[in-house]
A = this chain, B = another copy of it.
Amino acid sequence: MNTFFDPESVVVIGASNSPVNLGAMICRMLHEYSSFDGRVYAVNRKGEPVHGCEGFVSVTDIPGDVDLAVIITPVNVVPSFVRQCGEKGIMRIIIETSGFSEEGGRGRVMQEEISEAAREFGIRIMGPNCLGVLNVRNQFCCFYGISDDHFGTFMPDPPGAISYIIQSGGMVATILESLMKDVVKVNKVVSIGNKSDVDEADMIAYLDGDPTTEIIGMHLENIENGRKFLDVARGVRKPILVFKVGRTEEGVLAAQSHTAGMANNDVLFEGVCRQAGIIRVNSISELHSLPKIFTSMLPLRGPRIAVFTNSGAFGGITADLLINAGLEMARLSPETQERLRRTGQLFNASNPIDLGPALSMQTFLDIFDILLSSDEIDGLLPVPSLWHPMIIDAIGELVKKCHYYRKPAAIYTPNAVYRTVSYREEYQVPLFESPEEAVRALQVSYQYYRYSSRKRRPGDHEPVWDNKLQQGVA
């Protein structure tokens, strides 16, 4: 599978100099503004070079070995190019062209035809109807439509920890744009489309073995092979977040017209997730908001949460959310409350703790120590209003203390989203964009912690996130 992500030589079949040619966009990206250092060839009717990539009429004309072919031609010529690749000895093909089984009828027949050709030559196929691969480490990417201006959004420097398996290319931009202003960055993305051969289970297995991937995020419209998926997922040692469409019959129908999946039983899928310890997320936005619980926060090892805020209204709001998420408002003993009161002029020392407006950095630090060291508390939900510049510094200290005491804090600063995003980007602290998102983060952290504790046997290592954070990598 690694050849898909790290080829030494690639041919883009269908790249030409005609206007609005998608293959040409890929050649231009790889040759002009990516630092990818493999060879890139173009195949088109005239055999002309495209944006500096040498051109050929046929794949078999290319001198030397080629690792990977990207096919982005009209649908009817795809099968013959798959055969050409076979003759050339290219064993990995990404087919971006659409119009196959997602359209039914003739498309379905054509998809069968390419599968047959692939089997004949022993070729592994990704797609059709996909965007293929994006690898931040070597800047190899065969997504079309990434302009020079936006390339940085897709290729963060340094590369990040999360790799995505996205059935449909359409939402890659949404997710990567969002990550750009978050504390987690992307590592690899693969858009697998109709999955005529390579499917989500293959990709999970590959990414679980990939040393640069720490977390796996998935968007699925269907599961190709439920048994295979379960078998692979059960053995995975990394956290998997999955957003699956098709909770309703209408959703299933819509997904079917899009990437040609079979109708799946959603209840069955839910069961598979529970068995395999897969975290099922509720929205696209959770695919990019939740990974930071693994890279920048310690696991939540119990349900008892202490809320503290200098904006009293959020006490009631977060209490409602925590209870509805199956968590608990930590009960603070009179001793703990007394210690809190001695730190300064608190409005309320029982949970939710109302800090009041006037506080020094030392008061903040003392409160963090009291709460994080207390065995009455498993995690924090801080809601600090940033009315004073000192408070953002205090948040930075809180993050450090959480690592020291090995407890998580899901921080929400009560601001408009655009302002929260800009604080998060500027100070690189793991802020959540709403109280709902912060509570969801704690819920998922606890869910995954319980799962991974059950799964571990004596002698096993602690889960990935724990080791990493203990070593201070985050």
Contact = CB atoms under 8 A, between A and B. Distances in A.
Interface in A297-316: 307, 309, 311-316
A314 B145 CA distance: 19
A119 interface: no
A258 B318 CA distance: 13
A219 B313 contact: yes
A390 interface: no
A284 to B, nearest CB: 7
Categorize the interface residue count of chain A.
Answer: 35 or more
Nearest to A144: B357
A434 interface: yes
B170 A414 contact: yes
B245 A167 contact: no
Given A221-B313, A284-B317, A348-B257, A416 B250 contact: no
A65 to B, nearest CB: 33
A254 interface: yes
A173 B385 contact: yes
A417 B329 CA distance: 31
A38 B179 CA distance: 49
A319 B250 contact: yes
Contacts of A319: 248, 250-251, 253-254
A20 B219 CA distance: 52
A5 to B, nearest CB: 22
Nearest to A329: B250
A178 B167 CA distance: 33
Nearest to A245: B316
A14 to B, nearest CB: 15
A259 interface: yes
A9 B409 CA distance: 47
B257 A315 contact: yes
Interface string A379-413: 00000010100000000000000000000000000
A22 to B, nearest CB: 9
A323 B433 CA distance: 26
A419 interface: yes
A180 interface: yes
B323 A414 contact: no
Contacts of A419: 177
Nearest to A243: B317
A61 interface: no
Interface string A273-288: 0000000000111000
A419 B174 CA distance: 10
Contacts of A98: 347
Given A246-B316, A247-B320, A284-B435, A418 B418 contact: yes
22 contacts: A168-B313, A170-B314, A173-B415, A174-B415, A181-B418, A221-B316, A245-B313, A245-B320, A248-B323, A249-B323, A251-B323, A254-B315, A254-B352, A255-B316, A258-B313, A258-B315, A258-B354, A283-B434, A284-B434, A285-B434, A417-B417, A417-B433
Given A283-B435, A418-B418, 16 more contacts: A20-B358, A167-B313, A168-B311, A169-B313, A170-B313, A174-B414, A181-B418, A254-B307, A254-B318, A257-B348, A258-B315, A258-B348, A258-B354, A283-B436, A284-B435, A417-B421
